[in-house]
């Protein structure tokens, strides 16, 4: 019983990264700085339309919300969305 449980846990641990990362997310580029990100998306990237609207209300230019831009947001949010308002590299 215990042995089976450990085996199940090990299998789950191996499968977990596959469940949380889709190939599309894995392909979203990582940017080391906002200078690098805004070279491609001058107004930054938002996690979705609501976050983009908030950025505009806050006085920024509208950030990108294309599918790739949203993936880039989630790929880089820890580093580049320091105020955690849903837009990385707003300006
Ligand atoms: Ca932000």
- From the CB of residue 24, how many other CB atoms can be counted at a distance below 10 Å? 10
Q: Look at residue 78 in the predicted model and tell me its pLDDT.
A: 79
Q: Look at residue 6 in the predicted model and tell me its pLDDT.
A: 62
Burial class (CB in 10 A: 0-12, 13-18, 19+), 11: exposed
Please tell me the distance between residue 17's alpha carbon and the centre of ligand 1 in angstroms.
27
Q: What is the pTM for the complete model shown?
A: 0.71
Please tell me the distance between residue 51's alpha carbon and the centre of ligand 1 in angstroms.
9
Please tell me the distance between residue 87's alpha carbon and the centre of ligand 1 in angstroms.
4
Please tell me the distance between residue 25's alpha carbon and the centre of ligand 1 in angstroms.
20
Please tell me the distance between residue 71's alpha carbon and the centre of ligand 1 in angstroms.
15
Please tell me the distance between residue 29's alpha carbon and the centre of ligand 1 in angstroms.
18
Q: Look at residue 37 in the predicted model and tell me its pLDDT.
A: 97
In the chain (91 residues long), the average pLDDT of successive 10-residue segments reads 60 54 68 96 98 98 98 92 96 93
Question: Which CA distances in Å does 28 have to 15, 22, 42, 63, 66?
Answer: 21, 10, 17, 17, 12
Q: Are 75 and 28 in contact (CB under 8 A)?
A: yes
């Amino acid at each position: 019983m215990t042995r089976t449980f450990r085996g199940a846990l090990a299998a789950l641990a191996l499968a977990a990264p596959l469940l949380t990362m889709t190939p599309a997310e894995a392909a979203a580029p990582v940017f080391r700085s906002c200078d690098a990100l805004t070279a491609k998306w001058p107004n930054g990237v938002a996690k979705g339309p609501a976050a983009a609207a908030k950025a505009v209300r806050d006085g920024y230019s509208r950030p990108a919300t294309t599918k790739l831009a949203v993936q880039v947001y989630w790929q880089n949010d820890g580093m580049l969305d320091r105020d955690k308002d849903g837009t990385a590299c707003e300006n």
